[in-house]
Chain A
Amino acid sequence: MQSLAAAQELRECNLFTGQFGLSLSEEQIERLVSRRFGALRDTRRVEFGEGILKKLIYAFCDSPYLFQESYEDTILELQDSFYYFKGEAEERLSDDELIGFMKQVFDGPAQGSLEYLSGTSLEQLCRDAREADLGGPARYGPLC
């Protein structure tokens, strides 16, 4: 059921991303949805509801470094990085904060390089998040 809902969402994304010359075929949608569950398994995370793909696509679709030829692969890798670094940051970053940072770096100093994004900036971001005094072990934890 989650797969069907996720696939439908990606189809709906095509209506918006079309203006940027980006769209996903049915096969690509299937692969992205399937990879989502794989990425969650690999990073030992549980996700309810719509998942992060839609947010990633809407955030990155206007990037000058995102092209139709590499659209699927880029989104796949962004998804993998997203789940991985959510854990690395020890849940200190909200989805929007992490995606916002990823986009900012991807369009900025990374100039579209996913290696730069995940190997440099995201690592540093997560280190900073872990070391920052945020008043507790995670942004959401048991209330005292």
Chain B
Amino acid sequence: MEGNREQAPAGAFPADNALTREEVEIVRQKLWLLLAKRTEAYTAMDSSSVPVETARELFASLCFTLGLFLKESGSPAGRLVTDDLDELYRQGVRQIEEKLTYARKLHEAACLGAPAIENISFLDTLRNLGTFFRRYDCRFFAHHIPCSIDYQLCRAVPDEPGGVEYVTEYLRRLIIENDFLRRFDRERVERLLMSSCNDYRGLLINLYEPAAANAIGLTLAGGDLFSLDVSDRDRAHLAALFASLPESRAKEALRDAAARLCYTLQIRDSAARDYLAAAAVSLYPRIAAALPYGGLDGIFLSARPSH
């Protein structure tokens, strides 16, 4: 007779690997024993007890580590039932250490590939990400992100899972954005940013989004995409285009424009292509909201003239 199926502890493990109630109980007991060992290691055996909050954090850390192991190894949650949890945990820690090494390389690439555009939050975040590697404690707080990440990406990284996974994905996306921006003349990008926001240097704005939006718009309008300057005529063309298309066709047009833009800019990396396509499609709700009120000048910008 099949036992009642339950999801594993929420957020801890791949949600599509359901365990039976009995298996969940077995895993809980094994996790409790592992938590006892981790707590002993954490207190260096100086303390027989810890605050509940500390125990929760240590538990979240070991769940993060085990979850990462299951995901990276493509293992089903059933391994938590059948295998030695200590050994799975150790393998998870090793995988975290490998990811850290990779993330360090990504950080280096992000720093080296940063566009020479002044924006305080962008520069501070790059610097702060360096402190992540000094402060990150994969043994006891693997799920933590012990650094301040203020710079907002065009496509935000989901909060879960945290730890090195979040930072790795954040850096991947940042590198994609950096690479895109570097394909344009810096002064043209800065003039565009000035149109988007007077104090683009000091405020928490994303540098990629205005450039991507204008490049997409100019591709659709047949304008000079390297100018990053959408004229009134281009905007009128775009307004007429989107007004004539239902939602699905409009999104298809945006995706198609992103693909053509990637071809023109010789962006071959599939992750970068997908990123631009997603950024393009995400323009649609704003376009649809703006059209009835006459203009797309808040989305496809005319760059400020140079001083």
Residue positions of A touching B, CB distance < 8 A? 40, 44-52, 55, 83, 86-87, 91, 94-96, 139-140, 142-144
Chain B residues with CB under 8 Å of A87's CB are: 51
With beta carbons under 8 angstroms apart, the residue of B44, B48, B53 that contacts A52 is B48
A87 nearest in chain B by CB position: B51
Number of A-B contacts (CB under 8 A): 61
B36 engages A49 (CB within 8 Å): yes
The interface residues of chain B lying within 8 Å CB-to-CB of A86 are 47, 49
Q: Is A48 a contact partner of B144 (Cβ separation < 8 A)? A: no
Given the known inter-chain contacts A48-B36, A87-B51, A91-B51, please indicate yes or no for A140 contacting B46, CB distance below 8 A.
yes
Contacts A49-B48, A140-B46 aside, 18 further interface pairs with beta carbons under 8 A come to A44-B51, A44-B53, A45-B52, A46-B49, A47-B50, A48-B48, A50-B48, A51-B48, A51-B49, A86-B47, A87-B51, A94-B46, A95-B46, A95-B47, A139-B46, A142-B140, A142-B146, A144-B134
Interface of chain B, main secondary structure: mixed
Q: List 14 A-B contacts (CB under 8 A).
A: A46-B51, A47-B49, A48-B39, A48-B48, A51-B48, A52-B48, A91-B47, A91-B51, A94-B46, A140-B43, A140-B44, A142-B135, A142-B137, A144-B134
Is residue B55 contacting chain A, with contact meaning CB distance below 8 A? Answer: yes
| Docked CA distance A94–B43 (Å) | 9
Within 8 A of A (CB), among B18-73: 35-36, 39-40, 42-44, 46-55
Q: Nearest 7 A-B pairs (CB), nearest first?
A: A48-B36, A94-B46, A47-B49, A142-B137, A46-B55, A45-B49, A44-B52
What distance in Å separates the Cβ of B257 from its nearest Cβ neighbour in chain A? 46
A108 to chain B, nearest CB (A): 24
Which residue of the partner chain A has the closest CB to B39? A48
Query: Could you tell me the distance in whole angstroms from the C-beta of B217 to the nearest C-beta in chain A?
Result: 47
